[in-house]
Amino acid sequence: MPETLFINARIATMADPSGLGLLDNSGLLVHGDTIAWVGPMADCPDSDDAQIIDCGSRLITPGLIDCHTHLVYGGDRADEFEQRLEGLSYSEIAKRGGGIRSTVAATREASEAELLKQAQPRLQQLLDEGVTTVEIKSGYGLDSQNEIKMLRVARQLEEEYSVRVMKTFLGAHALPEEYTDNAEDYISLVCDEMLPQAHAEGLVDAVDVFIESIAFDLPQAQRVFEVAKSLGLPIKAHVEQLSDIGGAMLASEFDALSVDHIEYLAAEDVCGLADKNTVAVLLPGAFYVLRETQLPPINALRAQAVPIAIASDANPGSSPLHSILLTMNMACTLFSLTPNEALRGVTINAAKALGLESSHGSLETGKQADIVIWNLHKPSLLAYQIGINPCAGVMRAGQWRKPFKVSVV
């Protein structure tokens, strides 16, 4: 089996319950698709057949993980961007039939090939910055055929690119026009037809619901979660993004992998997440684009040791953001995360939010060899700089996706 030995590296292993698990002057051996050894250069194993990569003290991190995106969709919503600049709110636009519904119309119209073509540059942008795992949600089809079409595109992206794609079914994202004033029947369609069909095609890794006053209420979400549970699928939820209606509590009662957004989550309710080891996924792109002022309960999350992940939320409405590094910077600037928390948020905690922490998210023996070499020495530079991409090499599952060539120091 091919072996690669990284030597003279500064390794942020992320194998530490709170910090970066930083190892200076260290090395890492990859055997096949797996990490075979990580440790100080003094203990470096002999490996005659390995390809040797001298990292010249550069930083190595796990492959980055964007654990919440909607990057498969048709069209754009630049017109709504202009409307918001003129003073209309995201909710008002949604109530007038724009918002998610307008992307639903464009997504339904697009063929699978067209959706794929539109998604490719969005994904490529993330990959260029060292992303090796990305979650992609459905939710702009809102009927069986079109939700399945979106999830097939997500699967095709995984086949075409060297990236792990986790596919999340978000049929309960918005009420489609044909079900106006008939949410219960739409939820029945989601539960009885859409989700089981998508699952039967092997297209569903997790199930998400948008729980919000402009989307679905608690009993409706509960119906979807019960079906997810009966199919053995893990749960995620968009909750407390615009108001506090108790979505996070409901999701954590169902042992959700993550609750996402949570600007309006009450600090007193954070202990409910801690009890269930549910990850809090913060989405600074949506906070920024919607010019939100309500901050998520960061200090309560820290006090209760709730794992915090961050993600781009790449979508055409509230977060047309396709940069994981800018997401890290925004999480620090807008939410006061430390650069270390931001890096944990796109590695080990993002892996947890996808249920992948036993194989991804840190550089430890036995885990998958998803590795990024950066033209940097200090980890905090990843979150600090804006608009610079220091990614110098990417290995995914033991194979070079972007081979590292010594050039700039």
Residue pointed to by tokens 């840190």: 362
Q: How far apart are CA 191 and CA 193, in angstroms?
A: 6
Q: What element of type H or E holds 195?
A: helix 195-200
Phi first, then psi, for residue 171 (nearest 5°) are: -60, -35
Contacts of 296 (CB under 8 A, 6+ apart): 261, 262, 263, 265, 280, 282, 335
Q: How far apart are CA 149 and CA 138, in angstroms?
A: 9
To the nearest whole angstrom, how small is the minimum distance from the Cβ of residue 164 to Fe ion?
19
Complex with ligand DI6: residue 156 or 315, whichever CB lies closer: 315
To the nearest whole angstrom, how small is the minimum distance from the Cβ of residue 317 to ligand DI6?
2
Residue pointed to by tokens 């070499």: 373
Position 313 contacts ligand DI6 (CB under 6 A) = yes
Position 99 contacts ligand DI6 (CB under 6 A) = yes
Nearest Cα neighbor of 126 from 391, 373, 329 is: 391
Q: How far apart are CA 86 and CA 181, in angstroms?
A: 29
Among 26, 125, 138, 318, binds ligand DI6 (CB under 6 A): 318
Binder of residue 167, out of ligand DI6, Fe ion, none (CB less than 5 to 8 A by kind): none
Stretch that binds ligand DI6, among 176-184, 262-270, 308-316, 400-408 (CB under 6 A): 308-316
Position 292 contacts ligand DI6 (CB under 6 A) = no
DSSP summary character for residue 174: S
Residue pointed to by tokens 């096949």: 32
Position 103 contacts ligand DI6 (CB under 6 A) = yes
Complex with ligand DI6: residue 284 or 361, whichever CB lies closer: 284
Q: How far apart are CA 378 and CA 385, in angstroms?
A: 11
Binding mask 306-325 for Fe ion (x = CB under 5 A): -------x------------
Q: How far apart are CA 251 and CA 273, in angstroms?
A: 9
Nearest Cα neighbor of 63 from 393, 409, 404 is: 393
Position 292 contacts Fe ion (CB under 5 A) = no
Stretch that binds ligand DI6, among 44-52, 116-124, 311-319, 378-386 (CB under 6 A): 311-319
Among 130, 141, 307, 317, binds ligand DI6 (CB under 6 A): 317
CA distances 121 to 72, 163, 322, 392, Å, are 11, 14, 9, 20
How many residues form the binding site for Fe ion (CB under 5 A)? Answer: 1
Query: Closest CB to ligand DI6 belongs to which residue?
Result: 317
Both structure tokens of 368: 């998958």
Contacts of 269 (CB under 8 A, 6+ apart): 248, 249
Binders of ligand DI6 among residues 168 to 197 (CB under 6 A) are 173
Position 307 contacts ligand DI6 (CB under 6 A) = no
Binders of ligand DI6 among residues 319 to 338 (CB under 6 A) are 319
Position 66 contacts Fe ion (CB under 5 A) = no
Complex with ligand DI6: residue 156 or 168, whichever CB lies closer: 168
Binder of residue 210, out of Fe ion, ligand DI6, none (CB less than 5 to 8 A by kind): ligand DI6
**Triad 344, 352, 130: Cα angle to 5°:** 50
Among 15, 23, 30, 100, binds ligand DI6 (CB under 6 A): 100
Query: Closest CB to Fe ion belongs to which residue?
Result: 313
Stretch that binds ligand DI6, among 95-103, 177-185, 303-311, 345-353 (CB under 6 A): 95-103
Position 241 contacts ligand DI6 (CB under 6 A) = yes
To the nearest whole angstrom, how small is the minimum distance from the Cβ of residue 103 to Fe ion?
12
To the nearest whole angstrom, how small is the minimum distance from the Cβ of residue 68 to Fe ion?
6
CB 187, CB 216: distance < 8 Å: yes
Report the Cα–Cα distance between both ends of the chain, in Å, rounded.
31
Q: What one-letter code names the amino acid at 389? A: N
Phi first, then psi, for residue 34 (nearest 5°) are: -125, 150
Among 210, 225, 264, 374, binds ligand DI6 (CB under 6 A): 210
Binders of ligand DI6 among residues 144 to 173 (CB under 6 A) are 173
- Interface ranges with Fe ion (CB under 5 A): 313
- Interface ranges with ligand DI6 (CB under 6 A): 70, 99-100, 103, 173, 210, 238, 241, 286, 313, 315-319
